[in-house]
Amino acid sequence: MTAVDARPMVSLRAVDKHFGDLHVLQNIDLDVAEREVVVVVGPSGSGKSTLCRSINRLETIDSGEIRVDGELLPEEGAPLAKLRAEVGMVFQSFNLFAHRTILDNVTLAPLKVRKLGKDAARAQAMELLERVGIADKAHSHPAQLSGGQQQRAAIARALAMQPKVMLFDEPTSALDPEMVGEVLDVMTSLAKEGMTMIVVTHEMGFARRAADRVVFMDRGQIVEQAPPAQFFDSPATARAQSFLASVL
Ligand code: ADP
Ligand code: MG
């Protein structure tokens, strides 16, 4: 591999963050290569969401460095808006605009931020809705969709910005169990298509199938990281062993 190919898509160096007295991210070093799928697991409160939110600057860090595609995160203004477009984020709650159709939800940001023409934005949106399996819902409003369909719409909306990396923070945690699979299927296809992904999830089956690497966080630290088979079959630390015993 050339040096350029080896450059990580997302890179965190010595990242520290506190909420008051709570040291929520402790000296975090993490590189995510282009096309790599990293699944982040760990107990509630270990800092997983804060880590994700820091990568598109929804949280600011106290010290250290975060780079996306080699660039330090911009602090504000148009460069920050561009970064947020390049780093797609899907949350537990779907965050769709309730009073807009699904099609509008997917075209709004491309029209505004990417300055796509109306026809091009619509064509792209329909293609994405097709890809996540809800093209027939284009003219519905979010409330008319199931949770699984809404989350797939949220994924399509993020993809419409042609992100360099996608962050997923417990994207299936708010879903009824029968809808979890359809969202994980969309994420699995994305992973296979080569999207660079950071996924926080408690879905250990997905982690095993789709992850290139599992990162285990506990109390603000990355305690252990390994390919999924190794992590699940022979976790190296007592903390990971006890976490796995509690979720598997
Ligand atoms: P996880 O996603 O792993 O459950 P979080 O990153 O959400 O963990 O939270 C890590 C810790 O930081 C928790 O103890 C949480 O209560 C605390 N925390 C998160 N956000 C804030 C905030 N805005 N202000 C104060 N404490 C926070
Ligand atoms: Mg969280």
Q: Which ligand is nearest to the CA of 17?
A: 1
59 pLDDT above the threshold of 90: yes
Average pLDDT of span 142-169: 97
At 20 the pLDDT is 96
Is residue 225 packed enough to be buried (19+ CB in 10 Å), middle (13-18) or exposed (0-12)? middle
Other C-beta atoms lying within 10 Å of the C-beta of residue 223: 19
Q: By the 8 A CB rule, do 32 and 196 touch? A: yes
pTM of the predicted protein model: 0.95
For tokens 């994405």, what's the residue?
Answer: 128
Report the range of poorest mean pLDDT among 80-94, 139-153, 165-179.
80-94
Other C-beta atoms lying within 10 Å of the C-beta of residue 64: 16
* CA-proximal residue: ligand 1, atom 26 (nearest): 19
User: Which residue of 50, 53, 198, 223 sits with most ligand 1 atoms within 8 Å of its CB, as the best mutation to test the pocket?
Assistant: 50
170 pLDDT above the threshold of 80: yes
Residue 248: pLDDT band (50, 70, 90) is confident
* Cα atoms in the 13 Å half-sphere on the side-chain side of 219: 3
Give the Å distance between the CA of 188 and the centre of ligand 2.
Answer: 21
At 5 the pLDDT is 53
Rounded-to-integer distance, Cα 76 and Cα 223, Å: 32
At 1 the pLDDT is 40
Check: complex ipTM more than 0.95 = yes
pLDDT, tens digit, 9 for 90 and up, residues 225-246: 999 999 999 999 999 999 999 9
What is the average pLDDT score of the chain? 95
Question: Mutual orientation of helices 118-131 and 147-159 as an angle, nearest 10°?
Answer: 130
At 6 the pLDDT is 62
pLDDT, tens digit, 9 for 90 and up, residues 1-50: 444 456 799 999 999 999 999 999 999 999 999 999 999 999 999 999 99
* CA-proximal residue: ligand 1, atom 17 (nearest): 45
User: Which residue of 39, 49, 222 sits with most ligand 1 atoms within 8 Å of its CB, as the best mutation to test the pocket?
Assistant: 49
* CA-proximal residue: ligand 1, atom 19 (nearest): 50
DSSP letter assigned to residue 116: -
**Quick one: what percent of the chain has pLDDT higher than 90?**
89
CA dist 40 → 21, 34, 109, 111, 233 (Å): 24, 17, 28, 33, 17
User: Which residue of 19, 201, 217 sits with most ligand 1 atoms within 8 Å of its CB, as the best mutation to test the pocket?
Assistant: 19
Report the range of poorest mean pLDDT among 90-99, 146-155, 162-171.
90-99
Buried b (16+ CB within 10 A) or exposed e, 22-45: ebbbbebebebbbebbbbbbbbee
